[in-house]
A and B are shown apart, each in its own frame.
Chain A
Amino acid sequence: MKKPLLGEFETPSSNKYRVGPLQSIHMPMRRFREYEDVDYVIVGVGSAGGVLLQRLARAGFNVVGLEAGPFWDTEHDWVSDEAGSHELYWTEPRVTGGTDPLALGANNCGKGVGGGSVHWAAFTPRLHPSDFEIYTRDSVGADWPITYDEIRPYYEQLELEMPVSGPAYYPWGHPHGYAYGPHPMGGVGNALIKGCSALNIPVSIGGPVAILSGSHGDRPHCIYRGFCIQGCKVGAKASTLVTHVPDAIRTGAEIRDRSMVSRIELGKDGRVTGVHYFDNEGHSHFQRAKAVIVSGYAIETPRLLLNSACPGHEKGLGNSSGTIGRYLMAQAGNVVLGRFEQPVRMYKAPPAHALTEEFYETNPKNDFARGFAIQTVGPLPVAFGKQVLAAKKAWGWGLRREMMDYNHWAAFGLLGEILPWKDNAVTLSEDKDCFGLPIAHVTFNLHENDKKLIKAAREKTEEVMQAAGATEVVQEARYAHLVGACRMGSDPRTSVVDKFGRSHDIPNLFVCDGSLFPTQGSANPGLTIQALAARTADYLVSQGERIFTSNERDMTTTPIRRELAPPETWGKGVPRLK
């Protein structure tokens, strides 16, 4: 076939706002006035912001989401192309340093409605019960102010809302199963299965990943094209843009896109009154709000709070503990590349489709605490080129020759837990961005436990790659994900917010995103971020008007409100082990 039937594909010209080929968002959406005292302003409509917006709107609150990036129309704005997807990433200036500086931008930071969930690979394992108490168990890191059992109903719920595809029995952590079936394997997944099987390592096949293995209402299932982290035009990969934002708009939320929040305003009564932001033309605005939720992820959230310093809060808004920006974490994400005699063509199938968490927990035999996971990765040519550059020091003719073998390589990524350290931090730089706001300076240093863990993880991953039949194995050191930097805790002296994300210092200021994590486990953070958002939303709904009027802090946990889920969640999938 030279062409599709009826000729080349054209994007349908309609006034509909499309998120995926079938799903559309009903526009125009509700608009609030700036002088209207809306109930909640949410800063950042990403993984957490999208869920919060949907929950709060469905519960009847007046809620505005301010998003620095654009509101995507996926059929027009997204492309099936690595270089053309630059817009999806947070590319505003930042400085990165320390002994082991983190790559930011495309590596871990999203921009636009949906945020990082637009370009995540969508692996969605849960944290293990042990992750919530590593200080108690291993005397490292910190304990969470909540237990696994408190977040578990939200894991179960969000796994339905995305929904997550995966095996019927997932053996690690708290064993459970998935409502959507596992995915077929691509070349990389098969290599991981082969390697793990040869070494008798259990492996989870075809998930858990928030990519549809069957259709879901107006979202078609995956077409295995491999461009997950370039934004899923198919709409098969869950992002809050396709899972929660449509329902949020339907139920009366507003998203003001291309709106960069510069400062949170504090009133004389010690409560926040709204946020200042710049629109796309650079004009400054102020949106009044009864409460503010910051969901800007682990760099922009602390940056905004630090930039909002004011009399009484000289170190940053709500920073009496001095921990805003501190305890930033990334996971070790070394990529192990293996060359096979037979072609692999790793660009087919989603990068995320098989993993093992067999080495996740602390093992007394190791000389380090905590553990790691091994996952599939499917770099496309540009990303792979840079990995070959780093792993093989290849350049010039050497690089050209290695790259001609692209189709013979498979890539595994390890995901290793790096502990929270006070010196890993987001601070303000002297440099300014285009709005004149100080930019973030990120410092990252590996510590002894981290280094030992990475070494062991790397060796195990290489062993698996060799067992899979690779004739040459090389690796590149890198980091994945970002969490921490506004951590939650019970002690106001060592944490920024309480277990519901409410600032210890300011009763109507909330943080809700990855920066809440006190520790991170070796699980990709996306699911946990959304689960925490749904949990915070339930708390806010149960508190009702009291959030807006009272300084009392009610710490009772309320039962999950499943009725706040987007209605299309229900009636799909298989019964599962929870």
Chain B
Amino acid sequence: MKSHFDGVDPILCPRDPKTGEPLPPRSQPGYYPGFSTLSQGAFWDTATRAVVDKRVKHPPEPKFFAAEAWTFWTTVFAHLIPQTDRIPERQIPIVATLDHRLANDQTAGYRYETMPPDRVVYEIGIEAIDREAQHRYRGKFLVLPYLEQDLVLKAIHDGKPEAAQEIWKHMSVHRFWQMIMGDAIDAYYAHPWAWDEIGFGGPAYPRAYTRLERGEPEPWEVEEQRYVWLAPANSASAEVDSSPSHHAESGQHSLPVRSSKGARR
């Protein structure tokens, strides 16, 4: 049993809702077993194939972050988009992509006036998170147990950090969260392994899609095969807000969080 977990702590792994037992990491989580966008590379144009190949085979080398910052953000991103349901060799690099972006000073093309420049955000963000960790659990973020780390980040997610107010005065909590989550999503869901996980068809030029309606899969796509799983017991990130939005004043502000545990059937 132990060997299935391949060095990953079972307590960090998603659980089977019936037995409560941790599920061993997979090479491909998600409901589309055997689906591989990369296997379709021959049907893509050269330029796209080159970009995607590079993403998979040659993630960028560290350039911007110093070693400690690299470790710090690696740990944070392991909470923002946890990957313990993936075997280690199929985990998707997030910090490398972010590092590349910051090294080249690539931005979204704008900066909120309530935010410092992106590079500064990732500098002072470390301190803000560490101070929150100190304040809540009397330890630096990196040394805290997983759940406490999760809760530190959740405080920021909820828009309610208690420490480091002088940092937050110059950096909107909400925008900060948007940026680090945005970077996590930018890296993770741009990766073909993530496409396989969610059943996205991937690049489609010159080959088109032919079955446009009723969610019908292409001949090379696979039908969905759902399984039920729960987030690990010691995580605080499983809940999402599913409340119908017309009760909300604005989709951009924090709301009371309603629990919705586990995957729907």
Please report the number of residue pairs spanning A and B whose Cβ atoms sit closer than 8 angstroms.
276
A96: which B residues are within 8 A, CB to CB? Answer: 110-113
Determine the distance from Cα of A390 to Cα of B248 in the docked complex, in whole angstroms.
Answer: 12
From 189 to 217 in chain B, residues with beta carbon under 8 angstroms from any chain A beta carbon are 189-190, 194-195, 197-201, 203-217
The B contact surface, by secondary structure, is loop
A395 close to B157 (CB less than 8 A):
yes
A91 close to B43 (CB less than 8 A):
no
A384: which B residues are within 8 A, CB to CB? Answer: 189
A472 close to B242 (CB less than 8 A):
yes
Residue in B46, B190, B214 whose CB lies within 8 Å of A83: B190
A3: which B residues are within 8 A, CB to CB? Answer: 42-43
B203 close to A401 (CB less than 8 A):
no
A392 close to B240 (CB less than 8 A):
yes
From 205 to 261 in chain B, residues with beta carbon under 8 angstroms from any chain A beta carbon are 205-217, 219-220, 224, 229, 231-232, 235-246, 250-252, 254-255, 257
Determine the distance from Cα of A376 to Cα of B249 in the docked complex, in whole angstroms.
Answer: 23
Chain B residue nearest in CB terms to A3 = B42
A101 close to B112 (CB less than 8 A):
yes
A214: which B residues are within 8 A, CB to CB? Answer: none
From residue A436, how far is it (CB to closest CB) to chain B in Å?
Answer: 16
Chain B residue nearest in CB terms to A184 = B212
B211: which A residues are within 8 A, CB to CB? Answer: 348
**Given A8-B41, A380-B200, A398-B231, do A224 and B48 touch, yes or no (CB 8 Å)?**
no
B251: which A residues are within 8 A, CB to CB? Answer: 334, 390-391, 474-477
B31 close to A11 (CB less than 8 A):
no
Chain B residue nearest in CB terms to A471 = B264
A396 within 8 A of B: yes
Determine the distance from Cα of A89 to Cα of B244 in the docked complex, in whole angstroms.
Answer: 33
A227 within 8 A of B: yes
B186: which A residues are within 8 A, CB to CB? Answer: 83, 382
Residue in A186, A406, A441, A459 whose CB lies within 8 Å of B212: A186
Report the interface size for chain B: residues with CB under 8 A from the other chain.
90
A292 within 8 A of B: no
In this complex, the interface size class of chain A, counting residues with CB under 8 Å from chain B, is 35 or more
B231 close to A97 (CB less than 8 A):
no
Residue in A9, A86, A187, A407 whose CB lies within 8 Å of B224: A407
**Given A94-B109, A106-B108, do A223 and B81 touch, yes or no (CB 8 Å)?**
no
B45: which A residues are within 8 A, CB to CB? Answer: 9, 11, 75, 79-80, 233
**Which of B130-138, B163-171, B177-185 binds A?**
B177-185
B82 within 8 A of A: yes
B52 within 8 A of A: yes
A268 within 8 A of B: no
A81 close to B232 (CB less than 8 A):
no
Determine the distance from Cα of A476 to Cα of B114 in the docked complex, in whole angstroms.
Answer: 20
A393 close to B240 (CB less than 8 A):
yes
B30 within 8 A of A: yes
A394: which B residues are within 8 A, CB to CB? Answer: 240-241
A473 close to B244 (CB less than 8 A):
yes
B71 within 8 A of A: no
Determine the distance from Cα of A556 to Cα of B242 in the docked complex, in whole angstroms.
Answer: 58
Determine the distance from Cα of A21 to Cα of B241 in the docked complex, in whole angstroms.
Answer: 45
A396 close to B42 (CB less than 8 A):
no
B244 close to A397 (CB less than 8 A):
no
**Given A390-B251, A462-B245, do A397 and B14 touch, yes or no (CB 8 Å)?**
yes
Name 15 A/B residue pairs within 8 A (Cβ), A-sorted: A3-B42, A9-B206, A84-B48, A187-B212, A223-B204, A226-B204, A343-B224, A381-B195, A386-B182, A389-B185, A391-B245, A396-B236, A398-B240, A401-B263, A462-B245
Show the binding face of B for A, using Cβ within 8 Å.
Answer: 14, 29-31, 39, 41-49, 51-52, 55, 79-82, 85, 106-114, 150, 153, 157, 178, 181-182, 185-186, 188-190, 194-195, 197-201, 203-217, 219-220, 224, 229, 231-232, 235-246, 250-252, 254-255, 257, 263-264
Give 3 nearest A-B pairs by CB, closest first: A396-B237, A105-B109, A343-B215
